[in-house]
Amino acid sequence: MTSLHTTTAHTTAPRTSTVRAAAPTGMFDTVLVANRGEIAVRVIRTLRALGIRSVAVFSDADADARHVREADTAVRIGPAPASESYLVSERLLEAAARTGAQAIHPGYGFLAENAAFAQACADAGLVFIGPTASAISLMGDKIRAKETVAAAGVPVVPGSSGSGLTDDQLAEAAGEIGMPVLLKPSAGGGGKGMRLTRLESALRDEIAAARREARASFGDDTLLVERWIDRPRHIEIQVLADGYGNVVHLGERECSLQRRHQKIIEEAPSVLLDEKTRAAMGEAAVQAARSCGYRGAGTVEFIVPGEDPGSYFFMEMNTRLQVEHPVTELVTGLDLVEWQLRVAAGERLPFTQEDITLTGHAIEARICAEDPARGFLPSGGRVLSLREPAGDGVRTDSGLSEGTEVGSLYDPMLSKVIVHAPDRATALRRLRAALAETVTLGVPTNAGFLRRLLAHPAVVAGELDTGLVERDADSLVPAEVPVEVYEAAAAVRESELAPTPTSAPGPGWTDPFSVPNGWRMGGMTVPVTHHLRIAGHEPVIHRLLGTGPSHVEPGRVTVTVDGTTHTFHRADDWLGRDGDSWHVRDHDPVEAALLGAAGAGGLDALTAPMPGTVTVVKVAVGDEVVAGQGLLVVEAMKMEHVISAPHEGTVTELDVTAGSTVSMDQVLAVVAPAALAAPSAAAEEEK
């Protein structure tokens, strides 16, 4: 077993603006947080507020991570891959034993919904801060969960029944339900492996793809199929239960703004529900929790037809803290992590359903390492400059700090920006402003995209559904780079070329030939040309426009174009503004021309669209391929990307194998077009 290494750190965590109950009695002295990133930082914050010693765990990749520095004690648990560190329950239990922890908080993801891990904690004499292993097992199996809650009177989505269905049985069930259908893994959650299938002809391929992704994500490729509800809304109910049979709900969260079945914006309450429907859905969620003997904080998720909210259907129950829990905290005044701890320590809930009130409106935006300009592919890199919003009604939950290296091994979510306001319109404006203040230079994120999404007319009007983002995503990603971005990049480069005045031949004298202004004999000047490029866009030739003064200072550059002044944050070759960022690099046209000439023979290189790991290699050198044929699969941050042949031809180079780690734009393979490929052996024989 990999040895454990312990370090100690003491830092001050940001305060939370939540309502707290009386000081806990019989509470834990030390709690180990079996997670990383922003959720680990979030849990540590509440532990410190309650006077509980926190223990963080970290892989080699996270040795200098923020959650490690903010915990009282941190323990190394293994190499970077989660399968060799965060997912190894024995190392977590050993770390807990070494540090004297009495309980383990799993956060979300990793082992948070792993019944075997919850049972292993109990067997080791540790308190698992969450529901019982039996409740996790029951609700983690979507098929059994649907059967259980249906028996308790909770409405469920029409779909297949029974576990272990074959591909033929799934196809038969889909035929009975009628297209379109939604394929879902029975295990796991978070949208992984879910496939919306509208065409019967594509069903078999989608079943295979869903099984593959489910097996990779959860180790279980069992699927179910459900009726697809067009333009549905995703509304979930937060529940809280103690170990004495008391269960309450804390209102709903609207989670309909999603991309690829992943939530990106969440809010509380939902504009769709009236008080009668809210109470009915809340009671259904409470009954679902009771049906499995639930304990702790959990979420019951419903799919709701937008035109008929009264006909809501149970989807699944998440037996853990949700990513979006802060919006519930802000409208109820309750710290959900605190109540997880209190319930796990044996306390009763001191309030009833009548005591729960919702005040104001809260909205959350998830900041993810992805590049909207490149089709939302996962991104990565080192955080060169970081600015996270704060202030009245604004909260940021983050695992970032300047210098953080964002890789491809873990989930792409970096932080969350959450706001609270008296009403929804004010909350929307406040969140847009907060996202405009968000700066994460060095790692492309979706902050600017989310800011534009929050200004979408349908979002402002509250007319949401789970397909809205996919339908309108292209309109929310600018097709062109604003000219002022190139102007700012050129201004930075000229400032770096500016010479230092010397004392000879006179005080403050500057050699005119060293000034980057194209000065020529006779006093003539020629504008300096800058060759610039941004990934995903054609290279440009830019000369300073000279329509106003530019000011370059550490971390900031201001330029004026056509009478409008623009200010950017900057770090190295990165510029940022209003949540967007651009990596503006120098472009060498001579080098590009040489590379183009080298490619004139027809060879076409296939490059990695994102940093990640090659998981599948389907071809070998010499194989003949057709246009669009999948050759390799690159995975990053739990997302697969198929690398396909750009044309018919022959694989002449293959530079990676399954398991290879690759960087963005790294050459993976080369395909020679059929017209230019070397003659086959058969053709040679015919000669």
Per-residue pLDDT, 258: 97
Tell me the C-alpha distance between 112 and 114, whole Å. Answer: 6
Mean pLDDT highest for which of 81-95, 178-192, 535-549? 81-95
Q: Which of 97-101, 392-396, 462-466, 543-547 has the lowest mean pLDDT?
A: 543-547
For the purposes of burial, counting CB atoms within 10 Å of the CB of 10, is it exposed (0-12), middle (13-18) or buried (19 or more)?
Answer: exposed
Residue 183: name the closest of 249, 228, 232 by CA: 228
Sign of CA dihedral 243, 247, 248, 254: positive
Looking up tokens 């009245």 gives 392
Question: Which pLDDT score is estimated for 277?
Answer: 94
pLDDT tens across 521-578, in order?
Answer: 565 566 788 999 998 888 999 988 867 788 999 999 999 999 999 999 999 999 999 9
- Residues of the chain within CATH 2.40.50.100 domain(s) are 602-683
Q: How confident is the model at residue 5 (pLDDT cuts 50, 70, 90)?
A: very low
Mean pLDDT of 84-106: 98
Coil, strand or helix: which one is 462? coil
pLDDT for the residue 526:
63
CATH domain 5-129 topology: Rossmann fold (3.40.50)
Structure-model confidence comparison of residues 638 and 619, the more confident one: 619
Is residue 340 within 8 A of residue 258, CB to CB? The reply is no
Q: Which of 133, 113, 114 is nearest to 123 (CA)?
A: 133
Instruction: Check residue 503 and give its pLDDT.
Output: 53
What ranges in 320-445 are assigned the alpha helix state H?
Answer: 325-332, 336-344, 424-436
Residue 322, pLDDT > 90, answer yes
- Cβ(613)–Cβ(668) below 8 Å: no
Given pLDDT bands bounded at 50, 70 and 90, which one contains residue 483?
A: very high
pTM summary value: 0.84
Q: What are phi and psi of 69, to 5 degrees?
A: -70, -30
Choose the weakest-confidence range: 2-6, 114-118, 449-453, 494-498.
2-6
Confidence of residue 308 (pLDDT cuts 50, 70, 90): confident
Mean per-residue pLDDT, 444-457: 98
pLDDT of residue 384: 98
Residue 163, pLDDT score: 80
Q: Looking at residue 513, what is its pLDDT?
A: 56
Cα–Cα distances (Å) from 125 to 32, 96, 128, 297, 462, in that order, read 14, 11, 9, 21, 48
The answer to which of 176-180, 262-266, 637-641 has the lowest mean pLDDT is: 637-641
pLDDT at 537: 87
CATH domain 154-476 topology = D-amino Acid Aminotransferase; Chain A, domain 1 (3.30.470)
CA distance 29 to 486: 55
In DSSP notation, 502-525 reads BSSSSTTB--GGGSTTTB-GGG-B
Res 680: pLDDT: 46
> What is the chain's alpha carbon radius of gyration, rounded to the nearest angstrom?
28
Tell me: pLDDT of 342 over 50: yes
- Lowest-confidence region among 153-167, 278-292, 345-359, 472-486: 153-167
Convert the pLDDT of each residue in 286-306 to its tens digit.
999 999 999 999 999 999 998
Sign of CA dihedral 456, 486, 388, 635: positive
The predicted pLDDT at position 261 comes to 86
d(CA 408, CA 400) in angstroms, rounded, equals: 15
pLDDT-derived band at 1 (thresholds 50, 70, 90) equals very low
Helices (H), 154-299: 167-177, 203-218, 275-291
More confidently predicted of 222 and 7: 222
User: For the chain, where do the domains classified as CATH 3.30.470.20 start and end?
Assistant: 154-476
Domain span(s) for CATH 3.40.50.20 in the chain: 5-129
For residue 2, name the pLDDT band (cuts at 50, 70, 90): very low
How many other C-beta atoms are found inside a 10 Å radius of the C-beta of residue 623? Answer: 16
Residue scoring higher pLDDT (93 or 23) = 93
> Six-digit token pair at 277?
């429907």
Q: With beta carbons less than 8 A apart as the criterion, state whether 363 and 425 touch.
A: no
Whether the predicted pLDDT of 622 surpasses 60: yes
Alpha-carbon gap, residue 456 to 473, rounded angstroms: 11
Beta carbons within 10 angstroms of residue 607's beta carbon: 13
Report the interhelical angle of 203-218 vs 167-177 (nearest 10°). 120
Cross-strand pairs, 298: 239
The more confident residue out of 595 and 223 is: 223
- Residue 499 pLDDT exceeds 70: no
Q: Using the predicted structure, report yes or no on whether residue 496 has a pLDDT greater than 90.
A: no
Cβ proximity of 396 and 388 under 8 Å: yes
Q: Which CATH code for domain 602-683?
A: 2.40.50.100
